[in-house]
Structure 1
């Protein structure tokens, strides 16, 4: 009798701990199913057989969501910090898995491994692809690839602003400490920030779509590229990526503008509209990003001109590809690995940078490099003035020891993850360039790597299945800011 009672208590505790997580994840599955409705309508209108794949996928996803919501309907939504870690990882992994169903059931008939790789790449807005002959896909599947990245983009922003700071992980933690918490001054509650962010995200996406359409793209191409530009995802409707529009330079300039828009902090857009017209330019992170882009564009454009290329074409393609890599979008208008040794090394370095914290871009984020430089400057000062007292300030606010430790810890785990992933890929028989740049582009959520296999003119299709699963793990870890996943792998996390 006592043992039975203890068993009931244990089951109750397990249900109380895990049911809230399942309940929230199930709501995300419902949202995913609703997004599937859009390509389903398009395919039904065109009488395309792929409509059946989306119908089956919706039934499966809604069925799982319905069962999960049914068994958790009486569970209150009260989450402890440890549950937030599990929820963050479980939601991204499960949504990526279920989003692959139309790719498996539809005309491409991708293998389970390839379909999951494509959906993980989409949801994390990485932009690596295993698909060949994208031009020949149905309109519904093209739209679905764009929708997955657009959905992942808004999810990244909300996670970066609302969830990761609560877990003391991620860049927006910098703006949630003491007097620097200006985000609470913009709107009174996180819910208000999320709604305002969604409005801005939707508005910018529609502006991008309209601009591409007026610029000469076909309507479907304009819609998909509008979504994948603002989400800094990089999926295109052609195997040639944005190279399909190389003869229309104005489209490359428009795309550069929208990719950059997606890489800026969305909370600053709110502040710009509501309180300060100078909010974007005054932000130290934004200024740092723009200066880096300008320096890289000037140097690489000059390099190409000195090699004998026309100056305007050089400036256009350099600007587009530099912004694409730094913002971790992953579009390519040209095979920049053919530009020479300097551009190849430069693009490899730029792979790690990323955009701003609180944006849709991946990478290490600009603010971490800036704080690291400030810490280095202070260390040099201490070497000269051993008894000096120096205060590190960022955006006119003091940088606490907690933030400094966070930057160091993230940077260490970031490069350790890249190193271990590259080592694992090399053990599967991949060459040095493919292993190293594949690991870097996965963890930084950029998209294309370097070399003949996965470079801007290549594809991830030929990689072995084990390599694709490793890269999926790398993409998810990079998207979740590394530490969110690393914490789950430690024994002490599960000892509560």
Structure 2
């Protein structure tokens, strides 16, 4: 395996160029909200990111089209670099307020924005945003300037589809569709709506914008204020979970808003090709889609089980309250959205008991449909692992001359195909659990021993599954080691591990890089 460093440099540069355009466009939103003090922070951030991206793209402009190892390293590198440089608005806005750089325009620095004076907190927030996680360093989200509300929501909205998908849509590649598709696959995607990858990406963005507008309209109808509806519509359909109020969706104390948010999270959990079928009126094939059936069934069964556990443990005083909270929290956890309506834990103080906490972890682990905006293991891998394991066991009792095949949905896999897909699913699952175990071990070492083990597992699982729910552990007061570990978990979880493993392998074996 060899990685062309100039190919990686060029493509990372193009990705930075695309994301810098988002920073530049955000200036208009900041101005409309009257927060003129934040405009220089976004202008400088756009110039820095765009300048670095343009420099890389020009320096490496003669590079060949990416092969699979190049694309894997590009994805892993780009998501890390975008997360670091995307933190600039948080840091610069906080320091603008801290130093009162624009007298008469700049409000006083509050405690929530103050945490972003520290670059590590800003990087945590941005990585959480672009990976669609939603864990936050903001203690009281409503106290943030609207400029940072917007940037948090925009990072999640773009991250829900992917920064590479954004780049392919904005900056059409000059090396043909094969290079674009190789990069597209590196971002844990393989679905194609049209034969051309360019038109597929454009169709995904059309669907995504339409779903976002529908989500915003639904929240407005449910009674959510316009600014809140815009931000929660964006982060909800992207299954991201950043909120604009402390307490997330629970801050509204509105059953109508909660029940309106549930279908938004479910919509974000369904693969884009299925949404395309829905928009074109092909309902029969929607029902025939294996992942969609499993997503709906898992949400229904899981919500019922979690509601029963909450009621049985006496967490809430009525079955109706248990169902309302159980439904919302299970859909939020399994869709990897991370909106909250209740307190799961307060760090060292127990709120939810062990049973409901671990069952919510199971939902975070599986995630929903591949080809959607969710993370986690993905249900198709869970299906492959379950059916593949049963197939392997049955295979022991078959004669050696038997013709072996495995059916997954409407696909009939040959023995070779079945072995390959089962091996891939097993590899991702094992590596995923390994990184999870490392994260839990590091947090246990970094945190005080008073934190319940299931709460530590919950927060690490939430980070690696890109969910955003927390049990009261994730906060600005965490040790730097714990923050750094959760940043790695979020990064690893969003890219489904393999690109990270390829990058690590290439770095450890310096001979894998060449120009």
TM-score interval (norm. to shorter): 0.7 to 0.9
1:117 aligned partner: 124
- Residues 242, 162 of structure 1: CA spacing in aligned structure 2 closer, same or farther, 3 A cutoff? farther
- Describe the SS at the equivalent of 1:489: helix
Deviations 1:44-65 (A, max 9, x none): 3414422222222122222223
1:259 aligned partner: 265
TM-score w.r.t. the length of structure 1 is: 0.86
Greater shift, 58-67 or 291-300, is seen at: 58-67
What is the CA distance between 1:421 and its match in structure 2?
A: 2.0
- Describe the SS at the equivalent of 2:283: coil
What is the CA distance between 1:315 and its match in structure 2?
A: 2.4
- Describe the SS at the equivalent of 1:187: coil
- Describe the SS at the equivalent of 1:106: helix
2:462 aligned partner: 441
2:423 aligned partner: 405
- Residues 207, 95 of structure 1: CA spacing in aligned structure 2 closer, same or farther, 3 A cutoff? same
Deviations 1:284-317 (A, max 9, x none): 1111121111111222334445547344433222
Residues 1:56 and 2:49 aligned together:
no
Deviations 1:117-166 (A, max 9, x none): 11000000011111122111111111111001001112179499944785
Alignment match of 1:367 (pick from 368, 380, 389): 380
C-alpha separation between the residues in 1 aligned to 2:325 and 2:41? 38
- Residues 170, 403 of structure 1: CA spacing in aligned structure 2 closer, same or farther, 3 A cutoff? farther
Determine if contact 1:157/1:359 at 8 Å carries over to the other structure. Answer: no
2:68 aligned partner: 81
2:90 aligned partner: 103
- Residues 275, 77 of structure 1: CA spacing in aligned structure 2 closer, same or farther, 3 A cutoff? farther
User: How many residues of Structure 1 are paired with residues of Structure 2 in the alignment?
Assistant: 462
What is the CA distance between 1:448 and its match in structure 2?
A: 2.4
Deviations 1:418-442 (A, max 9, x none): 1122222223245434543333222
- Describe the SS at the equivalent of 2:162: helix
Determine if contact 1:362/1:478 at 8 Å carries over to the other structure. Answer: yes
Deviations 1:57-102 (A, max 9, x none): 12222222333344344x2551222211221111111111111001
1:298 aligned partner: 304
Residues 1:393 and 2:407 aligned together:
yes
Greater shift, 484-493 or 123-132, is seen at: 484-493
User: Which stretches in structure 1 are left out of the alignment for 5+ residues?
Assistant: 1-13, 176-182
1:234 aligned partner: 241
Determine if contact 2:165/2:184 at 8 Å carries over to the other structure. Answer: no
1:465 aligned partner: 480
Alignment match of 2:360 (pick from 335, 347, 352): 347
Greater shift, 209-218 or 197-206, is seen at: 209-218
C-alpha separation between the residues in 2 aligned to 1:122 and 1:430? 27
Determine if contact 1:262/1:360 at 8 Å carries over to the other structure. Answer: yes
- Residues 474, 340 of structure 1: CA spacing in aligned structure 2 closer, same or farther, 3 A cutoff? closer
- Residues 26, 385 of structure 1: CA spacing in aligned structure 2 closer, same or farther, 3 A cutoff? closer
1:203 aligned partner: 210
User: Which stretches in structure 2 are left out of the alignment for 5+ residues?
Assistant: 95-112, 169-179, 346-350
- Residues 162, 279 of structure 1: CA spacing in aligned structure 2 closer, same or farther, 3 A cutoff? farther
Determine if contact 2:269/2:369 at 8 Å carries over to the other structure. Answer: yes
- Describe the SS at the equivalent of 1:392: strand
- Describe the SS at the equivalent of 1:130: coil
What is the CA distance between 1:21 and its match in structure 2?
A: 2.5
- Describe the SS at the equivalent of 2:366: coil
Greater shift, 321-330 or 293-302, is seen at: 293-302
1:68 aligned partner: 56
Determine if contact 2:45/2:88 at 8 Å carries over to the other structure. Answer: yes
C-alpha separation between the residues in 2 aligned to 1:494 and 1:289? 44
Determine if contact 1:378/1:390 at 8 Å carries over to the other structure. Answer: no
2:171 aligned partner: none
- Residues 385, 309 of structure 1: CA spacing in aligned structure 2 closer, same or farther, 3 A cutoff? farther
Greater shift, 83-92 or 309-318, is seen at: 309-318
- Describe the SS at the equivalent of 1:301: helix
- Describe the SS at the equivalent of 1:398: strand
C-alpha separation between the residues in 2 aligned to 1:495 and 1:188? 33
Deviations 1:390-437 (A, max 9, x none): 421112212412111101111111111111222222232454345433
- Residues 266, 55 of structure 1: CA spacing in aligned structure 2 closer, same or farther, 3 A cutoff? same
What is the CA distance between 1:22 and its match in structure 2?
A: 2.4
Deviations 1:263-297 (A, max 9, x none): 11112222444483222221111111211111112
Greater shift, 333-342 or 468-477, is seen at: 333-342
